[in-house]
Structure 1
């Protein structure tokens, strides 16, 4: 049975088009021009599809994943034309022309744009985003299926299975997430074979700040990464595996205790780092293996951060799982595989996805602020749909 080609409405009204303005409110034209000049990707001659329009188009791909590439371009360009008072004029570009325009833009421009745009959103003291004086963050990773093309397969690689490998190559994505707003404030992407720990060794020292309290699962703990993250001044609360030796050196008033961790190469045990250890169990866990937790933190004073509060706070780490669900289910939708056919365009598409997700989350934070509510109580799906069809007040693209 032949499949029906999906399309967007033939006559797209202003309320539908204006989502381009929401994207532009996050990535203003002036910033895009600046990054294009910095990366040497600014259009050197008049083109039917200039580089700034391609940036918005790549972001829009995350909103209209159900539509063909040409349909998404039509919606974006009609929105740009309306916002410019008709000066932009109609754009007719073939599918191959779109691919060529994306290839000219490359992934580096989108990466640098994301580095300039992505940032924490919660104001000081905002509900659900802070623990005492620290902004609650979490780091974790996930994998995204990419198109099964020779170039993607060679660059990204396949996950192994009991009978060979999976159906699609996978890109690995590591995100530093603000738990209270679900905003991804920094990210790294790499082939599947690169570990999350190796990616975190690059990301965390560059992006952590002293006002952050960072949560991480037990797979991240290692002396070298802990030392690098601790050196940023950020506060850390990481789960560790039960096999990690953490002898009791001094028991504290709240039941936690101090211990010292060492690099495995430090045989003489001369260069250790003092940590505070919190052991606890969860009641009514699904299995006995899930009820035991061991956390380490560089918050050494129990008066500054009681063990019971930190144990409860650690489970905010699961907010990052919801963020990846927003990427992989609500933005990606029925399109389970990223569209791009080459490694550079896959990375470009992922940076566009990150920027669009940030635009949606920023809108949700602005909606929550006047009512002093936690943004994660709002519906991400509803916000996405609003951006796609109901935001004439958000126009922000300069002619």
Structure 2
């Protein structure tokens, strides 16, 4: 990123020097990388601004706390975490207006940058059983979040239409995320107003994906351009269900239910992306399920990867759905909307939510490694609740401790929160009833 990108918010990162105790890095650098903090410090070395009563480290900690204590008002989150001014006693909490102004000064860009910096570092990490045939396994999918219904938010984020062509009850913003399905850490993401589609959002961060990986996608990401972008690189592959009504020509047959097929690229796609040819090829694998047959297409070559193993691998795509469930249910308590009512604060809240989710997931993954278990064996809801309690205890004992120092103290006890894996029953997907702002009529 260029220096121009950081200029609007580099001053807000001035107080991040207290984020970690650099005199004793050995206790947590193995668990929480500090490269993103050091970069922020280098950007702010020459900054000279008026010191605010509420340091940016405390504001950042507040944003993370908002994600964990979703059912509490923001001022109550500040009270629970003992957010206070640096120049006053620990019991001198700021007024509600001061907290709101501090969030607005911080804005969304520093929180987004911190999420991307940590994700960029953590995407290269390896965990037990992290790889499949030498490849990291990622999944890509989208999710929607609702905001309060105000003219400002509806104009910026937009909304969908119902079957009667009425607008949906709440403005919505769209998230597209790339998740490591073994650790459930979100390594990259894009957020935008609802009107922008999932495929254009996904195309913006494809180049950030490392080599030697495979991405599992839902059929909604079917795009010759997107799949070709994923395949460009050192041993990068994709796996996606067959699109309904797809016209294909069999080029070669490897085995029963395992073929090489050729498909045409639409004139619209070639016009938008001239480098695409008139046709493209993929491997088609068909396998039996409890309800019939399923067909998936992939870029994995038949000479190196077994069709049966590919069929089993695609079942792991569901792990990203579980990750979204953890965010919306365990962290957000199935809240209908995000809590913020300003456009920039909505983005700040969502990036803070993703960053908090990743911190919880990574702390769980590190605890799992210590017990020689898989990161997915840790119960997310239990870890989230455990961390929430520990945050309150630590805040009471040392309200001005830095963010990194607090996080480094959370490891103890997480190792007792393992779950036993059980096979999930296969059930058909159903359309959920749209949430409404109006209560159901009494019968």
- Specify the TM-score bucket, using the shorter chain as the normaliser: 0.7 to 0.9
Say which of 48, 53, 56 aligns to 1:48: 53
Do 2:84 and 2:93's aligned partners in 1 also have CA atoms closer than 8 Å? no
Q: CA separation of 1:259/1:43 partners in 2, compared to 1, >3 Å: closer, same or farther?
A: farther
Q: Which deviates further from its counterpart, 164-173 or 247-256?
A: 247-256
Q: For 1:313 and 1:93, how far apart are their aligned partners in 2? A: 51
Query: Which residue is 1:256 aligned to?
Result: 258
Matched ranges for 1:134-173 at <5 A: 134-163=135-164, 164-173=166-175
Q: Which deviates further from its counterpart, 139-148 or 254-263?
A: 254-263
Q: Does 1:223 align with 2:228?
A: no
Q: For 1:307 and 1:58, how far apart are their aligned partners in 2? A: 46
Say which of 169, 186, 191 aligns to 1:189: 191
Q: How many residues align?
A: 364
Do 2:36 and 2:118's aligned partners in 1 also have CA atoms closer than 8 Å? no
Q: For 1:395 and 1:53, how far apart are their aligned partners in 2? A: 8
Q: For 1:217 and 1:325, how far apart are their aligned partners in 2? A: 16
Q: Does 1:380 align with 2:380?
A: yes
Q: CA separation of 1:41/1:47 partners in 2, compared to 1, >3 Å: closer, same or farther?
A: farther
Shift of the alpha carbon at 1:238?
A: 1.4
Q: Give the SS at the match of 1:200.
A: helix
Q: For 2:288 and 2:84, how far apart are their aligned partners in 1? A: 54
Q: For 1:50 and 1:324, how far apart are their aligned partners in 2? A: 32
Query: 1 or 2 for the larger relative contact order (CA 8 Å, sep ≥6)?
Result: 1
Query: Which residue is 2:212 aligned to?
Result: 211
Query: Which residue is 1:179 aligned to?
Result: 181
Q: For 1:39 and 1:396, how far apart are their aligned partners in 2? A: 18
Query: Which residue is 2:389 aligned to?
Result: 389
Matched ranges for 1:106-145 at <5 A: 106-119=107-120, 120=122, 124=126, 126-127=128-129, 129-145=130-146
Q: Does 1:68 align with 2:68?
A: no
Q: Give the SS at the match of 1:349.
A: helix
Q: Which deviates further from its counterpart, 291-300 or 71-80?
A: 71-80
Q: For 1:225 and 1:110, how far apart are their aligned partners in 2? A: 28
Q: For structure 2, which runs of at least 5 residues remain unmatched after alignment?
A: 1-19, 22-27, 395-401, 407-443
Q: CA separation of 1:190/1:274 partners in 2, compared to 1, >3 Å: closer, same or farther?
A: same
Query: Which residue is 2:438 aligned to?
Result: none
Q: For 2:33 and 2:59, how far apart are their aligned partners in 1? A: 13
Aligned-residue Cα RMSD (Å) equals 3.3
What TM-score do you get using the length of structure 1 for normalisation?
0.82
What TM-score do you get using the length of structure 2 for normalisation?
0.74
Q: CA separation of 1:254/1:137 partners in 2, compared to 1, >3 Å: closer, same or farther?
A: farther
Q: CA separation of 1:331/1:42 partners in 2, compared to 1, >3 Å: closer, same or farther?
A: farther
Shift of the alpha carbon at 1:37?
A: 7.0
Q: CA separation of 1:78/1:154 partners in 2, compared to 1, >3 Å: closer, same or farther?
A: closer
Q: For 2:115 and 2:33, how far apart are their aligned partners in 1? A: 9
Say which of 266, 275, 287 aligns to 1:280: 287
Do 1:223 and 1:262's aligned partners in 2 also have CA atoms closer than 8 Å? no
Do 1:39 and 1:109's aligned partners in 2 also have CA atoms closer than 8 Å? no
Once the two structures are superposed, what CA deviation does each residue of 1:274-300 show, in whole Å capped at 9, x if it has no partner?
Answer: 3211123312x2xxxxx4422111111
Once the two structures are superposed, what CA deviation does each residue of 1:1-42 show, in whole Å capped at 9, x if it has no partner?
Answer: xxxxxxxxxxxxxxxxxxx99x997586x8457438749997
Q: For structure 1, which runs of at least 5 residues remain unmatched after alignment?
A: 1-19, 286-290
Q: CA separation of 1:87/1:160 partners in 2, compared to 1, >3 Å: closer, same or farther?
A: same
